[in-house]
Copies of this chain bind each other. A is one copy, B any other.
Amino acid sequence: MIASLINGEERDDLSILDRGLQFGDGLFETIAIVGGEPALWQRHMERLQEGCRQLAFEPPDPGLLLKEATRLIGRRQSAILKILVTRGASERGYRVPEDTRPTRILELFEWEGPEEDAGGIDLRLCRQRLGQQPGYAGLKHLNRLEQVLARSEFDQGEGLMLDTEGCLVAGTASNLFLLIQGRLHTPIIDRCGVAGVVRALVLDVAREMRQPVTVRRILPDELEQAEGVFVTSSLLGIVAASSIEGVRKQVQVSHHPVLEAAAGRLFRA
Protein backbone atom coordinates (compact mmCIF):
# COMPACT_ATOMS: atom_id res chain seq x y z
CA MET A 1 0.00 0.00 0.00
CA ILE A 2 1.32 3.43 -0.95
CA ALA A 3 -0.91 5.62 1.18
CA SER A 4 -4.26 5.71 2.93
CA LEU A 5 -6.83 8.04 4.46
CA ILE A 6 -9.36 7.22 7.17
CA ASN A 7 -12.12 9.81 7.38
CA GLY A 8 -9.72 12.22 5.72
CA GLU A 9 -6.80 11.58 8.10
CA GLU A 10 -3.53 10.06 6.96
CA ARG A 11 -3.78 6.82 8.92
CA ASP A 12 -3.49 3.12 8.26
CA ASP A 13 -5.04 1.69 11.40
CA LEU A 14 -8.65 1.39 12.44
CA SER A 15 -10.47 0.85 15.73
CA ILE A 16 -11.02 -2.86 16.40
CA LEU A 17 -14.59 -1.85 17.30
CA ASP A 18 -15.30 -0.90 13.70
CA ARG A 19 -18.20 -2.98 12.43
CA GLY A 20 -16.33 -3.54 9.18
CA LEU A 21 -14.01 -5.82 11.15
CA GLN A 22 -16.59 -7.12 13.63
CA PHE A 23 -19.19 -8.20 11.08
CA GLY A 24 -18.11 -7.23 7.56
CA ASP A 25 -20.74 -4.51 7.98
CA GLY A 26 -19.76 -2.33 5.04
CA LEU A 27 -18.95 -2.08 1.34
CA PHE A 28 -15.96 -1.58 -0.92
CA GLU A 29 -14.99 -0.48 -4.40
CA THR A 30 -11.79 -1.28 -6.29
CA ILE A 31 -11.08 1.44 -8.81
CA ALA A 32 -8.50 1.57 -11.62
CA ILE A 33 -6.56 4.82 -11.76
CA VAL A 34 -5.58 5.31 -15.39
CA GLY A 35 -3.91 8.45 -16.72
CA GLY A 36 -4.23 9.89 -13.22
CA GLU A 37 -8.02 9.59 -13.24
CA PRO A 38 -10.32 7.08 -11.49
CA ALA A 39 -11.95 5.01 -14.26
CA LEU A 40 -15.74 4.55 -14.21
CA TRP A 41 -15.89 6.78 -11.11
CA GLN A 42 -19.57 7.60 -11.58
CA ARG A 43 -20.55 3.93 -11.75
CA HIS A 44 -18.47 3.06 -8.70
CA MET A 45 -20.10 5.88 -6.74
CA GLU A 46 -23.58 4.85 -7.82
CA ARG A 47 -23.04 1.27 -6.67
CA LEU A 48 -21.56 2.46 -3.39
CA GLN A 49 -24.51 4.79 -2.73
CA GLU A 50 -26.99 2.05 -3.61
CA GLY A 51 -25.16 -0.35 -1.28
CA CYS A 52 -25.32 2.09 1.63
CA ARG A 53 -29.00 2.60 0.94
CA GLN A 54 -29.64 -1.15 1.01
CA LEU A 55 -27.61 -1.64 4.18
CA ALA A 56 -29.40 1.41 5.63
CA PHE A 57 -26.54 3.69 6.57
CA GLU A 58 -25.62 7.15 5.41
CA PRO A 59 -23.54 7.06 2.21
CA PRO A 60 -20.41 9.20 2.05
CA ASP A 61 -20.60 12.35 -0.08
CA PRO A 62 -19.16 11.40 -3.52
CA GLY A 63 -17.70 14.90 -3.83
CA LEU A 64 -15.77 14.43 -0.60
CA LEU A 65 -14.59 10.98 -1.73
CA LEU A 66 -13.38 12.44 -5.03
CA LYS A 67 -11.52 15.19 -3.19
CA GLU A 68 -9.86 12.64 -0.92
CA ALA A 69 -9.13 10.29 -3.83
CA THR A 70 -7.50 13.13 -5.79
CA ARG A 71 -5.36 14.02 -2.78
CA LEU A 72 -4.28 10.38 -2.39
CA ILE A 73 -3.57 9.83 -6.10
CA GLY A 74 -1.41 12.95 -6.32
CA ARG A 75 0.59 12.92 -9.54
CA ARG A 76 0.47 9.17 -10.09
CA GLN A 77 -0.73 8.00 -13.48
CA SER A 78 -1.50 4.34 -12.71
CA ALA A 79 -2.62 2.94 -9.37
CA ILE A 80 -5.40 1.01 -7.70
CA LEU A 81 -7.71 2.90 -5.37
CA LYS A 82 -9.67 0.80 -2.91
CA ILE A 83 -12.47 2.54 -1.03
CA LEU A 84 -14.09 0.87 1.98
CA VAL A 85 -17.12 2.33 3.70
CA THR A 86 -18.28 0.72 6.92
CA ARG A 87 -21.22 1.40 9.21
CA GLY A 88 -18.70 2.66 11.76
CA ALA A 89 -17.63 1.64 15.25
CA SER A 90 -19.84 0.25 17.99
CA GLU A 91 -19.47 -1.90 21.08
CA ARG A 92 -19.95 -5.63 20.56
CA GLY A 93 -23.34 -7.01 19.43
CA TYR A 94 -25.18 -6.96 16.12
CA ARG A 95 -27.48 -4.13 17.10
CA VAL A 96 -26.60 -0.77 15.56
CA PRO A 97 -26.49 2.06 18.13
CA GLU A 98 -28.11 5.30 17.02
CA ASP A 99 -24.93 7.35 17.23
CA THR A 100 -22.96 5.12 14.83
CA ARG A 101 -21.16 7.17 12.17
CA PRO A 102 -19.87 5.56 8.93
CA THR A 103 -16.13 5.16 8.38
CA ARG A 104 -14.57 5.88 5.01
CA ILE A 105 -11.23 4.34 4.16
CA LEU A 106 -9.24 5.11 1.01
CA GLU A 107 -6.23 2.96 0.15
CA LEU A 108 -3.85 3.46 -2.78
CA PHE A 109 -1.84 0.56 -4.22
CA GLU A 110 0.89 0.24 -6.83
CA TRP A 111 -0.31 -0.82 -10.27
CA GLU A 112 1.26 -1.19 -13.68
CA GLY A 113 -1.99 -0.24 -15.38
CA PRO A 114 -4.36 -2.46 -17.36
CA GLU A 115 -2.61 -5.44 -18.90
CA GLU A 116 -2.51 -5.76 -22.65
CA ASP A 117 -4.64 -8.78 -23.51
CA ALA A 118 -1.89 -11.41 -23.65
CA GLY A 119 -3.87 -14.16 -25.31
CA GLY A 120 -6.66 -14.29 -22.76
CA ILE A 121 -7.20 -15.82 -19.34
CA ASP A 122 -7.53 -19.44 -18.24
CA LEU A 123 -10.78 -20.17 -16.41
CA ARG A 124 -11.76 -23.05 -14.20
CA LEU A 125 -14.74 -23.95 -12.02
CA CYS A 126 -14.33 -23.62 -8.26
CA ARG A 127 -15.77 -26.12 -5.80
CA GLN A 128 -16.66 -23.33 -3.35
CA ARG A 129 -20.27 -22.24 -3.96
CA LEU A 130 -22.01 -18.91 -3.49
CA GLY A 131 -24.80 -18.96 -0.91
CA GLN A 132 -28.01 -17.30 -2.00
CA GLN A 133 -28.67 -13.98 -0.41
CA PRO A 134 -31.41 -12.26 -2.41
CA GLY A 135 -31.71 -9.58 0.30
CA TYR A 136 -28.48 -7.94 -0.80
CA ALA A 137 -27.27 -9.76 -3.92
CA GLY A 138 -25.26 -7.54 -6.26
CA LEU A 139 -23.66 -5.41 -3.54
CA LYS A 140 -19.91 -5.34 -3.09
CA HIS A 141 -20.14 -5.83 0.66
CA LEU A 142 -17.35 -6.89 3.01
CA ASN A 143 -18.59 -10.47 3.56
CA ARG A 144 -16.19 -12.17 1.16
CA LEU A 145 -15.22 -15.49 2.72
CA GLU A 146 -16.72 -17.37 -0.22
CA GLN A 147 -14.43 -15.55 -2.64
CA VAL A 148 -11.39 -16.00 -0.37
CA LEU A 149 -11.97 -19.76 -0.18
CA ALA A 150 -12.66 -20.05 -3.92
CA ARG A 151 -9.52 -18.03 -4.73
CA SER A 152 -7.45 -20.48 -2.69
CA GLU A 153 -8.41 -23.30 -5.07
CA PHE A 154 -6.20 -22.08 -7.95
CA ASP A 155 -3.00 -20.20 -8.68
CA GLN A 156 -3.24 -18.56 -12.09
CA GLY A 157 -6.17 -17.28 -14.11
CA GLU A 158 -9.66 -16.89 -12.68
CA GLY A 159 -12.10 -19.27 -11.01
CA LEU A 160 -15.78 -19.35 -11.84
CA MET A 161 -18.34 -19.82 -9.08
CA LEU A 162 -21.72 -21.56 -9.03
CA ASP A 163 -24.50 -20.82 -6.59
CA THR A 164 -25.80 -23.53 -4.25
CA GLU A 165 -28.32 -24.54 -6.94
CA GLY A 166 -25.58 -25.13 -9.49
CA CYS A 167 -26.09 -22.04 -11.66
CA LEU A 168 -23.07 -20.08 -12.92
CA VAL A 169 -22.81 -16.69 -11.24
CA ALA A 170 -19.43 -15.02 -11.68
CA GLY A 171 -15.67 -15.25 -11.29
CA THR A 172 -14.13 -14.80 -7.84
CA ALA A 173 -13.35 -11.17 -8.73
CA SER A 174 -15.06 -10.72 -12.08
CA ASN A 175 -18.32 -11.03 -13.98
CA LEU A 176 -18.95 -13.37 -16.85
CA PHE A 177 -20.26 -13.10 -20.42
CA LEU A 178 -20.92 -15.95 -22.84
CA LEU A 179 -21.15 -15.57 -26.61
CA ILE A 180 -23.70 -18.09 -27.87
CA GLN A 181 -24.73 -18.12 -31.54
CA GLY A 182 -23.52 -14.56 -31.95
CA ARG A 183 -25.40 -13.18 -28.92
CA LEU A 184 -24.08 -12.17 -25.52
CA HIS A 185 -25.49 -13.72 -22.34
CA THR A 186 -24.58 -13.00 -18.70
CA PRO A 187 -25.73 -14.59 -15.43
CA ILE A 188 -28.50 -12.74 -13.61
CA ILE A 189 -27.24 -11.30 -10.30
CA ASP A 190 -30.38 -11.52 -8.18
CA ARG A 191 -29.58 -14.21 -5.60
CA CYS A 192 -25.83 -13.80 -5.10
CA GLY A 193 -22.73 -12.35 -6.73
CA VAL A 194 -21.53 -8.81 -7.29
CA ALA A 195 -23.02 -6.65 -10.05
CA GLY A 196 -19.76 -5.30 -11.47
CA VAL A 197 -19.35 -1.82 -12.90
CA VAL A 198 -17.77 -3.15 -16.13
CA ARG A 199 -20.65 -5.60 -16.45
CA ALA A 200 -23.03 -2.65 -16.15
CA LEU A 201 -21.06 -0.75 -18.81
CA VAL A 202 -21.28 -3.70 -21.21
CA LEU A 203 -25.04 -3.97 -20.61
CA ASP A 204 -25.47 -0.25 -21.32
CA VAL A 205 -23.32 -0.27 -24.44
CA ALA A 206 -25.22 -3.32 -25.70
CA ARG A 207 -28.54 -1.51 -25.21
CA GLU A 208 -27.24 1.60 -26.98
CA MET A 209 -26.10 -0.56 -29.90
CA ARG A 210 -29.45 -2.37 -29.95
CA GLN A 211 -27.81 -5.73 -29.37
CA PRO A 212 -29.00 -6.26 -25.79
CA VAL A 213 -27.33 -8.87 -23.61
CA THR A 214 -29.59 -11.68 -22.38
CA VAL A 215 -29.48 -11.66 -18.56
CA ARG A 216 -30.60 -15.05 -17.24
CA ARG A 217 -29.73 -18.21 -15.29
CA ILE A 218 -26.84 -19.95 -17.00
CA LEU A 219 -25.73 -23.52 -16.32
CA PRO A 220 -22.04 -24.50 -16.41
CA ASP A 221 -22.69 -26.85 -19.37
CA GLU A 222 -23.24 -23.77 -21.50
CA LEU A 223 -19.59 -22.76 -21.14
CA GLU A 224 -18.64 -25.58 -23.45
CA GLN A 225 -21.27 -24.70 -26.04
CA ALA A 226 -20.36 -21.00 -26.07
CA GLU A 227 -18.20 -19.76 -28.95
CA GLY A 228 -16.51 -17.33 -26.58
CA VAL A 229 -16.40 -16.63 -22.86
CA PHE A 230 -15.33 -13.30 -21.31
CA VAL A 231 -14.67 -12.01 -17.84
CA THR A 232 -14.94 -8.38 -16.79
CA SER A 233 -13.63 -6.41 -13.84
CA SER A 234 -12.47 -2.92 -12.94
CA LEU A 235 -8.83 -4.00 -13.13
CA LEU A 236 -8.94 -6.64 -15.90
CA GLY A 237 -11.31 -4.70 -18.11
CA ILE A 238 -12.83 -7.16 -20.59
CA VAL A 239 -10.76 -10.29 -21.19
CA ALA A 240 -11.46 -13.32 -23.36
CA ALA A 241 -11.06 -16.79 -21.89
CA SER A 242 -8.23 -18.66 -23.57
CA SER A 243 -9.36 -21.89 -21.94
CA ILE A 244 -12.04 -23.29 -19.64
CA GLU A 245 -11.12 -26.31 -17.53
CA GLY A 246 -8.25 -26.85 -19.94
CA VAL A 247 -10.39 -26.77 -23.10
CA ARG A 248 -9.31 -23.99 -25.46
CA LYS A 249 -11.48 -21.08 -26.48
CA GLN A 250 -10.49 -18.91 -29.42
CA VAL A 251 -12.89 -15.98 -29.75
CA GLN A 252 -11.34 -12.61 -28.82
CA VAL A 253 -12.94 -9.45 -27.43
CA SER A 254 -12.54 -7.77 -30.83
CA HIS A 255 -14.83 -10.43 -32.30
CA HIS A 256 -17.97 -8.82 -30.89
CA PRO A 257 -18.84 -5.16 -31.59
CA VAL A 258 -20.44 -4.59 -28.17
CA LEU A 259 -17.44 -5.89 -26.26
CA GLU A 260 -15.06 -3.95 -28.47
CA ALA A 261 -17.04 -0.72 -28.02
CA ALA A 262 -17.29 -1.25 -24.24
CA ALA A 263 -13.55 -2.01 -24.01
CA GLY A 264 -12.87 1.29 -25.77
CA ARG A 265 -14.83 3.17 -23.10
CA LEU A 266 -13.39 1.33 -20.15
CA PHE A 267 -10.45 3.16 -18.76
CA ARG A 268 -11.91 6.63 -18.79
CA ALA A 269 -13.19 8.62 -15.84
A241 to B86, CA, bound (A): 34
Per-position binary interface string of chain A over residues 140-163, scored 1 when its CB falls under 8 Å from any chain B CB and 0 otherwise: 011111111111100000000000
Query: Within 8 Å CB of A28, what residues of B?
Result: 22
> Which among B18, B134, B145 is the interface contact of A21 at CB below 8 angstroms?
B18
Contact B24–A142 (Cβ < 8 Å): yes
A214 in the interface, Cβ–Cβ < 8 Å?
Answer: no
Contact A16–B151 (Cβ < 8 Å): no
A12 in the interface, Cβ–Cβ < 8 Å?
Answer: yes
CB closest residue in chain B, given A13: B13
Contact A16–B12 (Cβ < 8 Å): yes
A6 in the interface, Cβ–Cβ < 8 Å?
Answer: yes
> Which among B17, B82, B143 is the interface contact of A92 at CB below 8 angstroms?
B82
A227 in the interface, Cβ–Cβ < 8 Å?
Answer: no
Per-position binary interface string of chain A over residues 185-218, scored 1 when its CB falls under 8 Å from any chain B CB and 0 otherwise: 0000000100000000000000000000000000
A267 to B32, CA, bound (A): 52
A24 to B61, CA, bound (A): 25
A56 to B142, CA, bound (A): 20
A80 to B91, CA, bound (A): 11
Query: Within 8 Å CB of A136, what residues of B?
Result: 145, 149
Contact B92–A30 (Cβ < 8 Å): yes
Q: List 14 A-B contacts (CB under 8 A).
A: A1-B92, A21-B86, A22-B84, A23-B143, A24-B24, A24-B143, A94-B148, A94-B150, A129-B135, A135-B149, A136-B145, A141-B145, A142-B145, A143-B144
